Chain A
């Protein structure tokens, strides 16, 4: 079963003749439990694609369908709730809330949903990501790699079905990148999640199950990776 499908997705900015085609007819489908890397140079439209998939931006044309549900059929409020419950985001610049400590940051999406965090599960994530002794620290006192691990824990906390990662290792050195990548792989496997990761780094893409290459808003290649 495909958990995420895009149908002829288009995103245009501006009007003719100065139109910019950020995405120009992207159709793809991602199977449940897959680890997919989307690669492309900067300006190829890969971040736009991820934003569409996560419902952070609306396409000019085409459709994003997640778990059988069309995102265009949802109003803003519903979309927000859908996102909160279904999708976990990991960004390049971590986006942690600076005035909350590590633990509060991790359980933020769960508490926003008015729910008591599943303590056992959260503890499992924290242990897996190796941030157990950092829980009371403020994000600013952590290294980049540690902050990204907190961001991953936060993305996993609400048990989302899909994890969308936008250059998760973009701000990290090569050593830490390899760590973070392994952790994303490990947690997605343990918690049965689908991962879509954007990167411009070929080395990093090589660890994915499938590599989708995007150039000038179009998919140029889609093949199974290591």
Chain B
């Protein structure tokens, strides 16, 4: 009796553990197979991405783990591709700058050579020579202006000078920008009207932002008639401060509002005024680098209004506390 009971218990225990073992082995095998197939699928997805067939082969819209992984792979592919395209575009841009530059430099250099030759000709009168010299001086000035502009631009382009946004009182910015513009304004008897609460503190790079503002102000003065008015108004918004510069000049045609920020773009009607067309381009680059932005409101015949938006320092500081 006892022995039988022991036997029975032993047998059933063996059977039980045997079954348990079989079941766990089954589960283990099943999980292993699933695991391997998931890994294989993932590898296949990676292959699909590598072979550039991700769009056809990946299924990113299912509520499964694999689909989620595939979706992330696809996004990775897109971001990498975007970065590659960006650097390609950048290369292209550098090429274009070089060709633009040589084109811009060609005219003054050709003029200088020509007038130099004429000035060196011994048979011309003193009066003619003086005229040549005047032209030469003018052309050299143009060359100097171009070279200066290009140095600034290339430094910014190549990110050699990275912007260092810091807390800057609006007062300092305006002082810097206005200081260099007052002389030009006085020359054309243009009155500068400034309506700003100068206690605002902004988050930007003082030197380059002053340059950006200067470019806008310089345009306002350059393209405005004698004795007109340029108004600078600041308005503090919650996140940005808007600095609006309004003139009574020749204005921008609405169809060109888009183009004036492009490098070397100049409207036909601006041909009379000296310039190469990089002021607004630089301004926009500088502002974008410090998370600000630029808005141009074309108002032909009524002048131009350009708004510069800069981040308020306090709002940002509070937010990142």
Partners in one complex: yes
Closest to B238 in A: A179
* The residue from B63, B257, B319 contacting A127, defined by CB atoms under 8 A apart: B319
Chain A residues, Cβ within 8 Å of B81: 1
* The residue from A130, A161, A223 contacting B78, defined by CB atoms under 8 A apart: A161
Chain A residues, Cβ within 8 Å of B78: 32, 67, 161
Within 8 A of B (CB), among A69-86: 69, 74, 77-79, 81-82, 85
* The residue from B75, B237, B261 contacting A159, defined by CB atoms under 8 A apart: B75
Distance to closest chain B CB from A80 (angstroms): 8
Question: Known contacts A130-B315, A132-B319: does B261 contact A226 (CB below 8 Å)?
Answer: yes
> Does B208 lie at the interface of the complex (its beta carbon under 8 Å from any beta carbon of A)?
no
Question: Are B257 and A78 touching (Cβ within 8 A)?
Answer: no
Question: Are B319 and A178 touching (Cβ within 8 A)?
Answer: no
Question: Are A182 and B261 touching (Cβ within 8 A)?
Answer: no
Question: Are A179 and B240 touching (Cβ within 8 A)?
Answer: yes
* The residue from A32, A85, A131 contacting B60, defined by CB atoms under 8 A apart: A85
Question: Are A133 and B55 touching (Cβ within 8 A)?
Answer: no
> Does A93 lie at the interface of the complex (its beta carbon under 8 Å from any beta carbon of B)?
no
Within 8 A of A (CB), among B124-146: none
> Does B3 lie at the interface of the complex (its beta carbon under 8 Å from any beta carbon of A)?
no
Interface membership of chain A positions 152-173, coded 1 if the CB is closer than 8 angstroms to chain B and 0 otherwise: 0000000101000000000000
Chain A residues, Cβ within 8 Å of B60: 81-82, 85
* The residue from B239, B240, B257, B321 contacting A225, defined by CB atoms under 8 A apart: B257
Question: Known contacts A179-B239, A179-B240: does B321 contact A132 (CB below 8 Å)?
Answer: yes
* The residue from B67, B260, B297, B318 contacting A130, defined by CB atoms under 8 A apart: B318
User: Number of contact residues on B: which range applies?
Assistant: 35 or more
Chain B residues, Cβ within 8 Å of A182: 239-240, 291-293, 309
* The residue from A69, A179, A183 contacting B55, defined by CB atoms under 8 A apart: A69
* The residue from B71, B82, B235 contacting A175, defined by CB atoms under 8 A apart: B235
Question: Known contacts A81-B63, A85-B71, A130-B319: does B257 contact A192 (CB below 8 Å)?
Answer: no
Chain B residues, Cβ within 8 Å of A178: 237, 240, 242, 309
> Does A207 lie at the interface of the complex (its beta carbon under 8 Å from any beta carbon of B)?
yes
Within 8 A of B (CB), among A176-206: 176, 178-179, 181-183, 185-186, 189, 192, 203, 206
* Assembly CA distance A192 to B309 (angstroms): 21
Within 8 A of B (CB), among A197-226: 203, 206-207, 211, 223-226
Chain B residues, Cβ within 8 Å of A189: 288
Chain B residues, Cβ within 8 Å of A206: 257, 295-297
Chain A residues, Cβ within 8 Å of B62: 78, 81
Chain A residues, Cβ within 8 Å of B292: 182
Interface membership of chain A positions 57-70, coded 1 if the CB is closer than 8 angstroms to chain B and 0 otherwise: 00000000001110
> Does A137 lie at the interface of the complex (its beta carbon under 8 Å from any beta carbon of B)?
no
* The residue from A81, A126, A181, A183 contacting B61, defined by CB atoms under 8 A apart: A81
Interface membership of chain B positions 158-180, coded 1 if the CB is closer than 8 angstroms to chain A and 0 otherwise: 00000000000000000000000
> Does B68 lie at the interface of the complex (its beta carbon under 8 Å from any beta carbon of A)?
yes
Closest to A160 in B: B75
Question: Known contacts A130-B318, A178-B309, A192-B79: does B61 contact A224 (CB below 8 Å)?
Answer: no
Question: Are A113 and B293 touching (Cβ within 8 A)?
Answer: no
* Assembly CA distance A81 to B79 (angstroms): 20
Within 8 A of A (CB), among B276-299: 284, 288, 291-297
Question: Known contacts A182-B292, A206-B257, A207-B295: does B61 contact A78 (CB below 8 Å)?
Answer: yes
Q: Which of A85, A159, A183 has most B Cβ within 10 Å?
A: A85
> Does B186 lie at the interface of the complex (its beta carbon under 8 Å from any beta carbon of A)?
no
Closest to B65 in A: A114
> Does A145 lie at the interface of the complex (its beta carbon under 8 Å from any beta carbon of B)?
yes
* Assembly CA distance A130 to B317 (angstroms): 9
Interface membership of chain A positions 115-142, coded 1 if the CB is closer than 8 angstroms to chain B and 0 otherwise: 1000000000011011111000000000
> Does A33 lie at the interface of the complex (its beta carbon under 8 Å from any beta carbon of B)?
yes
Question: Are B319 and A131 touching (Cβ within 8 A)?
Answer: yes
> Does B258 lie at the interface of the complex (its beta carbon under 8 Å from any beta carbon of A)?
yes
> Does B102 lie at the interface of the complex (its beta carbon under 8 Å from any beta carbon of A)?
no
* Assembly CA distance A175 to B307 (angstroms): 13
Interface residues in chain B, defined as those with a beta carbon under 8 Å from any beta carbon in chain A: 55, 60-63, 67-68, 71, 74-75, 78-79, 81-82, 85, 235, 237-240, 242, 255, 257-261, 284, 288, 291-297, 309, 315-316, 318-321
Contacts A82-B61, A159-B75 known; 4 new A-B pairs at CB < 8 A: A78-B62, A85-B61, A129-B319, A130-B238
